[in-house]
């Protein structure tokens, strides 16, 4: 049995303390239960992917208790602020340009220049976020490929032994994930329909908005084959690097940079995006990568590495 925390002050305080220590804590929002981790802690966030068995590094939503807290993380233009004032707290997520030096680990955005942020309406979630005092990254608290959980029992059944605690706030009132919007140059792009009806957004703006068609400028990073590619050419599953290759290692080997000298996949996931950026800063022209086991979060690492190595 996972630690079950009750929706009272001691329960909330304990959940906040666990989050600040790098633990994985499921908590209810008005939409669905989220699997939370301290968004400033790359290792903690990597644990989310491991627990969910998520096959790719989808960027995650950073949850904060107020518009003011969101302004520390991303840039709001007038349109974004209008949306936030109208619909926060609530089931709406905004994808906005990440601020330089924002306290968010690279793995949260999967290396993108934008960050998805949300102020949830559930009072319990708001109190938890206030207590934690850090942005909390949280996807839905379900194993990859299964439906999003709307009760604590649902979370327990899916992820029970893989997470540290569940804050039990009863069933989620919305039960459907948040609506994801990306305001760009005065227009609003709908990236995912969700708990906030499109009609309400249209009523606020006085203009129709439509779902982003696949094939439009891709914004969902999974659609971009070479999105995570560093400047240099990448060769995978290399045990013997060529003399002109920089080796990105894994496990107890002699490498220029190592994702995890101890061969810990969770650590490797936490390091991946940062190391790829370091390779760019080093000006690496040819990059060899050690074999990464195709299990657990290793599948997510390999998925991103294959994109990095894809022809472009
Ligand atoms: O209601 C919800 O949104 C719940 C609760 C826990 O807040 N969370 C949730 O998270 O549904 P998740 O990870 O299941 O879905 C987040 C979606 C993904 O499809 C991801 O690709 C997209 O948000 N996303 C996140 N950051 C993005 C970004 N920078 N650009 C485009 N899409 C982004
Ligand atoms: Mg989900």
H-helix or E-strand spanning residue 199: helix 198-205
Q: Is 140 in the pocket of ligand 1 (CB under 6 A)?
A: yes
Calculate the CA 11 to chain-centre distance: 25
In this structure, is residue 95 part of a structural domain?
Answer: yes
Averaged over successive runs of 10 residues, the pLDDT of the chain (312 residues) comes to 94 98 98 96 95 83 98 98 98 97 94 96 98 97 83 92 97 88 93 87 90 52 50 94 97 96 88 80 94 83 83 75
> Within this chain, do residues 181 and 281 fall inside the same structural domain, yes or no?
no
In this structure, is residue 223 part of a structural domain?
Answer: no
Q: Is 112 in the pocket of ligand 1 (CB under 6 A)?
A: yes
In this structure, is residue 224 part of a structural domain?
Answer: no
> Within this chain, do residues 210 and 243 fall inside the same structural domain, yes or no?
no
Q: Is the distance from CB of 298 to CB of 305 less than 8 angstroms?
A: no
Helix axes 265-281, 42-52, angle to 10 degrees: 130
Q: Is 150 in the pocket of ligand 1 (CB under 6 A)?
A: no
Return d(Cα 231, Cα 131) in angstroms, integer.
41
Q: Is 138 in the pocket of ligand 1 (CB under 6 A)?
A: yes
Expressed as residue numbers, the domain containing 11 is 3-218
> Within this chain, do residues 208 and 249 fall inside the same structural domain, yes or no?
no
Q: Which ligand is nearest to the CA of 145?
A: 2
Domain end point (choices 160, 188, 218): 218
CA-proximal residue: ligand 1, atom 3 (nearest): 178
Total domains in the fold of the chain: 2
In this structure, is residue 291 part of a structural domain?
Answer: yes
> Within this chain, do residues 120 and 177 fall inside the same structural domain, yes or no?
yes
> Within this chain, do residues 175 and 53 fall inside the same structural domain, yes or no?
yes
Angstrom CA distances, 154 to 27, 126, 173, 291, stand at 12, 21, 14, 36
**Position in ligand 1 atom list of the atom nearest CA 91:** 1
Predicted confidence at residue 213, as pLDDT, reads 54
Domain end point (choices 167, 184, 218): 218
């Amino acid at each position: 049995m996972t630690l079950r925390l009750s929706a009272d002050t001691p329960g909330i305080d304990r959940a906040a303390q666990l989050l600040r220590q790098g633990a994985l804590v499921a908590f209810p929002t008005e939409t669905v239960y989220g699997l939370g981790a301290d968004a400033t802690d790359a290792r903690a966030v990597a644990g989310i992917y491991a627990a969910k068995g998520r096959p790719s590094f989808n960027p995650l939503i950073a949850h904060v208790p107020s518009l003011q807290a969101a302004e520390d993380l991303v840039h709001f233009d007038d349109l974004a602020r209008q949306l936030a004032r109208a619909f926060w707290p609530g089931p709406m997520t905004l994808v906005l340009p990440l601020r330089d030096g924002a306290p968010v680990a690279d793995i949260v955005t999967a290396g993108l220049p934008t960050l998805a942020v949300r102020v949830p309406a559930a009072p319990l979630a708001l109190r938890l976020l206030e207590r934690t005092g850090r942005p909390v990254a949280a996807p839905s608290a379900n194993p990859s490929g299964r439906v999003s959980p709307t009760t604590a029992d649902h979370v327990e059944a899916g992820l029970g032994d893989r997470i540290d605690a569940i804050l039990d706030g009863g069933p989620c009132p919305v039960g459907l994930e948040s609506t994801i919007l990306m305001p760009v140059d005065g227009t609003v792009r709908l990236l995912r329909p969700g708990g906030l009806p499109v009609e309400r957004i249209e009523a606020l703006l006085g203009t129709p908005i439509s779902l982003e068609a696949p094939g439009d400028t891709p914004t969902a990073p999974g659609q971009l084959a070479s999105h995570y590619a560093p400047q240099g050419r990448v060769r995978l599953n290399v045990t013997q690097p060529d003399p002109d290759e920089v080796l990105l290692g894994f496990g107890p080997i002699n490498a220029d940079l190592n994702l995890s000298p101890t061969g810990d996949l969770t650590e490797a996931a936490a390091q991946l995006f940062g190391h790829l950026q370091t390779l760019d800063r080093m000006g690496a022209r040819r990059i060899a990568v050690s074999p990464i086991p195709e299990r657990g979060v290793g599948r997510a690492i390999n998925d991103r590495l294959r994109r990095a190595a894809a022809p472009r």
